Amino acid sequence: MRLSSQQQEQYIEQGYLVLPGLIEEAALKRYNDRFESLVRGEQALPPGMKLMQDVMVVKGAVQPASELHAVNKLLCFEEDEVLFDFAQHPGLMSAVRSLIGEEIYSLSSNIFNKPPGVDGKHPMHQDLRYFKIGPADKIVGVWTAMFPATRESGCLAVIPGSHTRGMLEHESPDWEFVNHGFFGIEDLDLSQRQHVELQPGDTLLFHPLLIHGSGTNTSDHFRRAISIHCASAECAGEGDWKSNRFTRRLP
């Protein structure tokens, strides 16, 4: 699905774009079944994949009701043929190519699992902090809701247009429970913040300098999303980034 010029302009101006219903229910079910089976330990994790537990579970502040209630995210699914099928979805990849060009690589892959009953919030941040390549305009984040992402369940929130502010300082938030690797921008004016509520299959494309984060899941169901970041072959940075263990050229 090539993006229209209007969609491309919206992305350039606002730093994000929602594509409703992009990923089919059957594909979401395959990803979800696989995720649940990996978390339950029904099959071995493929090379490089990691499961990260929620900090409240790690610190013993909550007793998870199941294995699925304990996990904050699954990282690095490049070697999992069921999950990595997401990075080859024709409509999705065509949309990404409309923004950053034809020759693209995946940089990172995650399933973000926000169980009910844990704090789970993610401070407002810019993803470029986690990447050592640029230019930023040639990188795009992709985030597809697997379950409803609402304000109640801790959907993503963004500050429209904030990708034009450059890279801002990030700190570890002074919250009681902060998940591993979560950094945030202090003293942000949140008056322009927008909550991006998505239904399963809806997909957010976002610029790596867009300030975004997510809240606590106060619902009684899981909020879960599958996500990758893609970069153009034109990107450059520290060393030979295309040969990184987790980087893949996308067909």
Ligand X SMILES: O=C(O)CCC(=O)C(=O)O
Residues near ligand X, by CB under 6 A: 112, 114, 122, 127, 141, 143, 212, 214, 225, 227
Closest distance to ligand X from the beta carbon of 5 (Å): 26
The alpha carbon of 20 is separated from its chain's Cα centroid by a whole number of angstroms, namely 16
Minimum distance from residue 186 beta carbon to ligand X (Å): 17
> How far apart, in whole angstroms, are the C-alpha atoms of residue 160 and residue 189?
12
Least separation, in Å, of the C-beta of 127 and ligand X? 5
Q: Tell me how many degrees the CA angle 192-195-196 measures, rounded to the nearest 5.
A: 125
Residue whose CB is less far from ligand X, 121 or 138:
121
* Alpha carbon separation from 103 to 100, 232, 243 (Å, rounded): 8, 6, 15
Q: State the nearest-atom distance from the C-beta of 214 to ligand X, in Å.
A: 3
C-alpha distances (whole Å) from 169 to each of 102, 178, 191, 193, 216 are: 32, 18, 19, 19, 23
Give 2's DSSP letter: P
Task: Kindly tell me which of 166 and 239 has the beta carbon lying closer to ligand X.
Answer: 166
- Name which of 9 and 186 has its Cβ closer to ligand X: 186
**42/186 with CB nearer ligand X:** 186
